C-alpha cells in the first residue's frame, strides 16, 4: 500500500495543463481503457450525469479549422454563463498562473498580440489529436456539474498515469451550438467545457509551465 500511495501521489503531482501536443493519435484500445477507468468517478446517487463526446481525425480537423474564425467573428454561444469575478487572493492566483504561462512561452506581459495568439490556440486544441467535449443533460445543474468535474479529474489523472497529457478548457464551451451541430448532439445536452488530450510535446517550452498551489493551511481547516 505505501508503494501504491507513492505512485498515486506522483501522478497527482505531475498532472498539469499542457498546451503543446504531438500529432500521434492514441489507439482505440487505449482510448477505451482510459474512458472505462474514468467511468469509476463518483457521483451523487451514482447518477453518472455526464455525456462525453471524443473527437479525432477528420471531424477534429473540421472543428480546428472553423472554431478560431467563428470566435473572432463573434459567433459565441454558451450553455452556462461565464460571469465569475476573481477578487483578492483568487485574482492573485489567476494573475500568477497567467504569468507562469507567459514566462514559459517566452511572451512578455505587455505583448498583447502574442498573448492573444496564445489564447486563440485554445480553439486549435493546442495541436492535440483528440478532444473530449463534456456535456450535462438537462435539467441537471450545480450538483451534477460538480460530479462532471470529478469525472474530468479522474480522466485527467488516468491520462497522466498512461503517459498522456491534457488541458481542460472553458473556452471550448464558448461555441456550444456549433459543437452540437457538427457532432449531431441533442439540444438538451449542455456543453460545460472541453478537454484536449494526447501525447505531450516534450520540446515545446510552454509545457514547462507549472503553476503554484496554495498551502494546506490556506485552504483547509482541521477540527477535532
Question: Is the per-residue pLDDT at 2 higher than 90?
Answer: no
pLDDT mean over 14-43: 98
pLDDT mean over 32-51: 98
Question: Is the per-residue pLDDT at 155 higher than 70?
Answer: yes
The pLDDT-based confidence of 148 (bands split at 50, 70, 90) is very high
Integer Cα distance of 81 and 175 in angstroms: 12
- Count Cα atoms within 13 angstroms, Cβ side, for 151: 27
pLDDT for res 109: 83
Residue in the structure block whose three cell numbers are 504569468 = 99
SS3 state at 94:
helix
Task: List domains and CATH numbers for the chain.
Answer: 2-84+126-205 (3.40.109.10)
- Element housing 56 (H / E): strand 51-56
Integer Cα distance of 28 and 25 in angstroms: 9
pLDDT for res 182: 98
pLDDT for res 1: 67
pLDDT mean over 176-202: 98
Pick 114 or 109 by higher pLDDT: 114
pLDDT for res 91: 96
Sign, CA dihedral 119-121-123-128, equals negative
pLDDT for res 211: 95
The pLDDT-based confidence of 83 (bands split at 50, 70, 90) is confident
Question: Is the per-residue pLDDT at 58 higher than 70?
Answer: yes
Query: Average pLDDT of the chain?
Result: 97
pLDDT for res 152: 98
Question: Is the per-residue pLDDT at 126 higher than 70?
Answer: yes
Amino acid at each position: 500500500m505505501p508503494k501504491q500511495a507513492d505512485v498515486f501521489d506522483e501522478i497527482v503531482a505531475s498532472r498539469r495543463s499542457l498546451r503543446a501536443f504531438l500529432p500521434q493519435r492514441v489507439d482505440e484500445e487505449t482510448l477505451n481503457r482510459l474512458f472505462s477507468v474514468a467511468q469509476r468517478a463518483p457521483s451523487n446517487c451514482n447518477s453518472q450525469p455526464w455525456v462525453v463526446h471524443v473527437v479525432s481525425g477528420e471531424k477534429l480537423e473540421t472543428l480546428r479549422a472553423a472554431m478560431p474564425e467563428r470566435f473572432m467573428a463573434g459567433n459565441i454561444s454558451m450553455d452556462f454563463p461565464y460571469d465569475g469575478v476573481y477578487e483578492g487572493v483568487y485574482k492573485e492566483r489567476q494573475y500568477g498562473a497567467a504569468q507562469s504561462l507567459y514566462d514559459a512561452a517566452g511572451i512578455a506581459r505587455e505583448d498583447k498580440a502574442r498573448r492573444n495568439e496564445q489564447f486563440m490556440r485554445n480553439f486549435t486544441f493546442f495541436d492535440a489529436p483528440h478532444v473530449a467535449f463534456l456535456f450535462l443533460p438537462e435539467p441537471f445543474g450545480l450538483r451534477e456539474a460538480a460530479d462532471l468535474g470529478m469525472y474530468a479529474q479522474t480522466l485527467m489523472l488516468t491520462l497522466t498515469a498512461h503517459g498522456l497529457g491534457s488541458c481542460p478548457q472553458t473556452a471550448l464551451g464558448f461555441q456550444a451550438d456549433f459543437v452540437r451541430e457538427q457532432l449531431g448532439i441533442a439540444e438538451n445536452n449542455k456543453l460545460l467545457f472541453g478537454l484536449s488530450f494526447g501525447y505531450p510535446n516534450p520540446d515545446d517550452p510552454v509545457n514547462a509551465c507549472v503553476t503554484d498551489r496554495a498551502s494546506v493551511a490556506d485552504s483547509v481547516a482541521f477540527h477535532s
